[in-house]
């Protein structure tokens, strides 16, 4: 069965290759950061990074990830030691219920890898398919801007 590398550690996965990554993360690996929202690629709550690019884990069969590095929100830091982007979300109070936030953080993280100092339009464009039902969009935007405005090391410190 497929091997899966998440946050730098490789796991032998019991699931069938067509199983969506999201279920493997949550049910097998106990990584509950990525959330199940719609299961149809419409909401972005399940967003993780594959080789530095944002993907929807609910629509990613785990079999396609052999040999490709997956990063989840747990890979950016911990509650005690949040990563810089996570710290920016905390500083801006960007989470209300928090359900969408892991997806927002990962989508923003992938953006900042590709474009270290994005314009507001670029941030909005990158996040446009990540939904937030509480309506904290303005704070999420502020958090991403805060992280992007800090030194470039902020967003680079991740494998």
Which residues contribute to the site for other proteins (CB under 8 A)? 7-8, 16-20, 39-43, 50-56, 58-64, 68, 75-77, 81, 83-84, 113-114, 116, 121, 129, 131, 153, 156-159
Cα angle at 69 between 108 and 6, to 5 degrees?
90
Tell me how far, at minimum, the Cβ of 50 lies from other proteins, in Å. Answer: 6
> What angle (nearest 5°) sits at the alpha carbon of residue 159, between those of residues 34 and 33?
10
- Could you tell me the smallest distance in angstroms from the CB atom of residue 96 to other proteins? 19
At its nearest, how many Å lie between other proteins and the CB of residue 153?
6
CA R_g for the chain:
15
**Between 52 and 149, whose beta carbon lies closer to other proteins?**
52
Which one, 56 or 95, has the nearer CB to other proteins?
A: 56
Task: For other proteins, give the closer residue by CB, 41 or 98.
Answer: 41
DSSP 8: T
> Cβ closer to other proteins: 11 or 53?
53
Q: How far apart are the first and last CA of the chain?
A: 25
Smallest distance, other proteins to C-beta of residue 75, A: 6
Other beta carbons within 10 Å of 49: 23
Would you say 22 and 65 are in contact if contact means Cβ atoms under 8 Å apart? no
Length of the chain: 159
């Amino acid at each position: 069965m497929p091997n899966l590398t998440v946050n730098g550690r490789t796991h032998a996965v019991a699931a069938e290759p067509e199983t969506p990554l999201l279920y493997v993360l949550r049910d097998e690996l106990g990584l509950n950061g990525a959330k199940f929202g719609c299961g149809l690629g419409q909401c972005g709550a399940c967003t993780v990074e594959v080789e530095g690019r944002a993907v929807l884990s609910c629509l990613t069969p785990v079999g396609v990830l052999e040999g490709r590095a997956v990063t989840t929100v747990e890979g950016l830091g911990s509650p005690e030691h949040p990563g810089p982007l996570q710290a920016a979300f905390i500083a801006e109070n960007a989470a209300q219920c928090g359900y969408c936030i892991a997806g927002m953080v990962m989508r923003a993280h992938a953006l900042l890898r590709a474009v270290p100092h994005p314009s507001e339009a670029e941030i909005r464009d990158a996040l446009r398919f990540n939904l937030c039902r509480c309506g904290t969009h303005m704070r999420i935007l502020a958090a991403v801007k805060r992280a992007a405005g800090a030194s470039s090391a902020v967003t680079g410190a991740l494998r």
